[in-house]
Amino acid sequence: MCAMNTKTKIKYLKPALSFQEQLIQLKDRGLIVNNEEEALIILSNISYYRLSAYWIPFKKRDKQGKLLNQFQDNIFFENIIELYEFDRKLRLLIMDALERIEISIRTHITYHLAHHYGAFALEKSENFHNKFEHKTWLLQIQSEIIRSKEPFIEHFMDKYEGFPTLPVWMATEVTSFGSLSFLYKGLKNEDKRVIAETHYNLHPKTLANFLHFLTYVRNICAHHSRLWNKELAIRPKLDGLDQAWLPPITPRSDRSFFILLILKYLLNHSDKTQQWAKSYEELILPILAKYKWSASSMGIPNNWQNHPIWN
């Protein structure tokens, strides 16, 4: 049971502010605005409340660390937008990596199931772990299939009987990342082991853990939520990971740098390209140089470019 909150609460009385009033309030709190016309255009397209998460690092704090309603000295509106744009580009970069990883894991699961259990491998509960909620999962997959407008789905409906039952190589193409993660977790132990060890050099529990975590990360990105310094509510389990994943080499598992380590590791075993890592370094280095506090906010260790997983 949750503990009762005995703090005295007050009625919310703050009024809605016009874009002009929002800008005045920011200036009154010490923010420097060089181009008010441009700032108003930005405020009219990116909500004040959304941007407020990005100016928190630039606010003053009292001796107890409590956040104050005044900006630090010499903070410009452009600083806030720079951090906002950095976070937006970071999410896009993460989504790029997730796309490649999702396609890779989907391919390996599909190939393995098709060759071990046949075209309709997904339909039989005996093809899965005995604790897997196969019926519930299959209903979810069939719902995703029915909603799909892919031409190959429509072709199957027109030509073959049994819809929404599809061959595994069709069904997994319209399966969400969340359903795919759940599918991998539900495989028989030996099937999970073959996929994880052969293609990613991971323990199957670790791969299942990573996929569950990345589903959560994908949802953050898909909803355009702040990510760069977020304290992640779902954290990957560290059991069984080698020392490179653990403190002090990797300080925190609840910040964005841990996401990037997982993506880099999985890309090294699937996509093989180094361009993604170079793109991240090009994005992050100017921020780290300009805002020294940003490294700890993202869980980035010293000398991170030589981190044993990253390098």
Percent of the chain with pLDDT over 90: 95
Q: What is the pLDDT of residues 171-183, one digit of tens each?
A: 999 999 999 999 9
For the entire predicted model, the pTM comes to: 0.93
pLDDT recorded at residue 4 = 60
Give the chain's radius of gyration (CA, Å): 24
Contact between residue 58 and residue 84 where contact means Cβ atoms under 8 Å apart: no
* Cα 251 versus chain centre, distance: 19
Listed residue (281, 163, 143, 262) closest to 208, CA to CA = 262
CA pair distance 273, 270, nearest whole angstrom: 9
Q: Which residues pair with 128 in a beta bridge?
A: 187
Percent of the chain with pLDDT over 70: 98
The stretch 229-241 carries a mean pLDDT of 94
Q: What is the pLDDT of residues 103-115, one digit of tens each?
A: 999 999 999 999 9
Q: Measured between alpha carbons, how far apart are the two ends of the chain, in Å?
A: 46
Question: Length of the chain, please?
Answer: 311
| Domain residue ranges of the chain, discontinuous segments joined by + | 31-75, 84-306
CA distance readout (Å), 188 to 113, 124, 197: 11, 12, 14
Tokens describing residue 38: 């441009």
CA pair distance 34, 27, nearest whole angstrom: 10
Does position 5 have pLDDT exceeding 70, yes or no? Answer: no
pLDDT recorded at residue 3 = 57
Q: pLDDT confidence of 7, banded at 50, 70, 90?
A: confident
